[in-house]
Structure 1
Amino acid sequence: MDAPVTLDIGACHQNGNVGQTVAVKIPDRLLKREQERLEAVERRKEAKESQAVTEEKSDFFTCSFNAEKAAIEEMLSGCSELDRDKAVHVLETVTSKIQTLQKFLNDSVVFLTQYELRQAQAAVQRLQCTLAEMRDQALPKKKFTFRSRPTVTTKSDVTQVSSTSGSQCSKMENDSHDARGSGHTAINGYTGGEQCGFSNVDSKILTKGEEEIRQRDVLLTHLSNCKVRLLGCPSTLHIKHVRNSQILCGPVSSSVFVDQVSGCNLAFPCQQLRTHNTTDTDVYLHVTSRAIIEDCSRVRFAPFSWSYPGMDTDFEVSGLDRDRNNWSLIDDFNWLAADTPSPNWTLIPEAERRSNWD
């Protein structure tokens, strides 16, 4: 049906009345077409403005990120020429700057392209590795030896484990101690450095407390059939070459890196998660940015559900936002089709999610 539209006719001579208002019918299809045209113009305008804002944000991020990265690299390059006390101060400053740079990257994920995101994450990881190398040079660890101990005649399993990693970024030395409680083994890392963890262990229950791991880099590598409890807030967490194990960790201030993992259950809060070469693994996650997987298959995600006494305090120390959890927002670098879900990961059905970890 045509809609009547009132028009003001400036000169109407048919009836001799100048300026008379008359009703003229305009077809609905013309009105609809005009409305659609106006809406399309508005959408194009909004899209153009949005793209301009996104490009402006991206340019600002790139400029700021590169400037801060260059400043950190300059500080690290001159660290080897300083005496020990000055080197320690510089390394503490660099650690804080890298954490700030990581947070800046996490907050910028929403408008970065995948290429920009990958490049920035790789740059941060290189800075972390260089920091670890400079720390080893400036603060060499004491020579490690096992302490002699009297013969123990209990049923508790006493295990001695020494751990090292092949990377300069993750040199560690571990001492083993008899754990309190039947059948439990706690392996304490060397406390004179900035890193700790467990390595080359099979079929054990491994625990570290808050004082051992607070704001330190933790490395778990070459573990099988183990249960690991990290009761505290590490700076970063590296999980490499682990199979058929359960790893539960308190809030991680910056990043968690997972590589070469299979058949595991993982649970942790963090700012960022990077997962590579991982299969048949469930991740119970609290993450304030977006999790990233690459070269993975049959990985499942659910919201973080582990708890322990003192976790609230550890969340405060870590600086993580408890109200911001993007556990279900996963970026798969091997799956670029935006309109089709990735076959490499899925969400754990609610009925299958774990709530009791004891």
Structure 2
Amino acid sequence: MEAAGCSAAALGNGDPAAPRERGMLPERLQRREQERQLEAERRKQSRQDLEVEEEKSSFLAAALAREREAVEALLRGEDAAGRLEEAAERLQGLRKLLNDSVRFLSNYNLRQGQEALAQLQAALAQRRQELQPGKRFAFRARRNQAAGAAGVDAAPAAEAPASASARVPKDENEATPETGWACGFSDLAGQILEKRAAELHQQDVLLSGLTDCTVRLWGNPNTLRLAQARGCRVLCGPVSTSVFLENCTDCVLAVACQQLRVHTTANTRIFLQVTSKAIVEDCSRIQFAPYTWSYPGIEQDFQSSGLDRSRNNWNDVADFNWLVRGVASPNWSILPEEEWKIPCD
């Protein structure tokens, strides 16, 4: 009897927390179920957001393709001379569409769009050049034929020396990288070079083969290309469309533009204002800082460029050689703030 009483006492008083735990069990299960539902809802929302982004990317890629075809058709037409302005306007619209679509396009589609835009811009410039009246080269050919008929040997044209202007192809129909570039500097060393607003306005500027030069471009070009430069410092006003760097080393560039492409370049500082996104490829030791260059008349140049000064993605850089998500590219970095002063400014 005594043993039975002890057992009963143990059952009644030995584990006073047991009823509370049994009462809390449904509460814990309910919380767990709520957490599970919240997690499922988050995953569902993430899938929906991804589907929306993919749908936007596909739509924008299709729109870019349509506009590209329309511009190409205008440039191919027999009456292209009267349609160049329409092609230029549609090209500007295509540029704006691409610029506004950066957030939604994949890196591949963005790269394809920018390359197509650059090709169309070059095609437009070449078409304008082809349709210019009075080709000097045809006249020179007739003159040389007449000289031959008269039995007089025409003196060979003197080879143009290296000068402060972009190289011109020997034949108008010769396809060279320089075709269509209206002004610039080439094959110079150790010089201070400048161009003013009247020379630069909406021109395609080429800087190539420069070594240890300081270049100041006080104005609003349409495009800027810097190629094969070594140890140069280039300060440029707002560029309406694209800036291209390729095969440059130990340079400093200060520029505002719509888009920036950097290829095969090393140990270069870029002081940048860009409305879309900067892209680097096959590069190393590229450093970025905000564009702070100023000069009298820069506000008017910004207005004529059409750039939106409120949009500046100077530190949003896509590296096409670095595809590891969540890990910073080792090929570019942000310049320390104490070094944001532009050299030679």
| Change in CA separation of 1:279 and 1:243 when aligned onto 2, cut-off 3 Å | same
TM-score using structure 1 length: 0.77
Shift of 1:165: 5.8
1:128-277 residue pairs with structure 2 within 5 A?
Answer: 128-139=121-132, 160-164=163-167, 168=176, 170-171=178-179, 195-277=182-264
Amino acid of the structure 1 residue aligned with 2:166: S
Partner of 1:294: 281
**Residue of structure 2 in register with 1:60 after alignment:** 59
> Per the alignment, in what secondary structure is the counterpart of residue 71 of structure 2?
helix
* TM-score, reference length from structure 2: 0.79
- Superposed displacement of residue 160, structure 1: 4.5
Query: Which residue identity is paired with 2:179?
Result: K
CA apart distance, 1:331: 0.4
Q: 1:126 and 2:125 equivalent?
A: no
How many residues get paired?
297
Offset, 1:169: 5.5
5+ residue gaps in structure 2?
A: 1-16, 138-161, 170-174
SS in structure 2 opposite 1:262? coil
Report the equivalent of 2:33: 34
Going from structure 1 to structure 2, the CA distance change for 1:356 and 1:170 (only over 3 Å counts) comes to closer
CA distance in structure 1 between the partners assigned to 2:164 and 2:312 by the alignment: 36
Rg larger in structure: 2
Supply the distance in 2 between the matched residues of 1:209 and 1:163 (Cα, whole angstroms). 16
Q: Give CA deviations for 1:115-167 in whole Å, capped at 9, x if unaligned.
A: 211222221122122222212211278759xxxxxxxxxxxxxx944531665
Residues 32, 111 of structure 1: alpha-carbon distance in 2 compared, 3 angstrom cutoff: same
Cα distance between partner residues in 1 of 2:85 and 2:134: 17
Cross-structure match for 2:13: none
Q: How far off is 1:44 after superposition?
A: 2.1
- 162 and 356 in structure 1: CA distance in 2 versus 1, 3 angstrom threshold: closer
Judge conservation of contact 2:263–2:282 (CA < 8 Å) in 1.
yes
Contact 2:163 2:186 (8 Å CA) reproduced:
no
| 2:5 counterpart residue number | none
Give the residue type in structure 1 aligned to 2:110: L
RMSD: 2.4
Q: Name the CA distance, whole Å, in 1 between partners of 2:266 and 2:136.
A: 38
Partners in 2 of 1:27 and 1:251 — Cα distance?
66
After alignment, is 65-74 or 129-138 more displaced? 129-138
8 A contact 1:306–1:357 mirrored in 2: no
Distance in 2 (alpha carbons) for counterparts of 1:240 and 1:257:
8
Aligned mates of 1:46, 1:334 — CA distance in 2: 31
Contact 1:267 1:306 in 2 (8 A): yes
Aligned counterpart, 1:45? 44
Q: Percent identity?
A: 46
Q: 1:57-92 CA distances to partner (integer Å, 9 max, x unpaired)?
A: 1222122111111111111112xx44xxx61x4223
The unaligned stretches of length 5 or more in structure 1 are 5-23, 145-158, 173-193
User: Structure 2 vs 1, CA of residues 161 and 287 (structure 1 numbering), >3 Å: closer, same or farther?
Assistant: closer
What is the CA deviation profile of residues 203-247 of structure 1, one whole-angstrom value per residue up to 9, with x for unaligned ones? 111111111111121111111111111111111111111111100
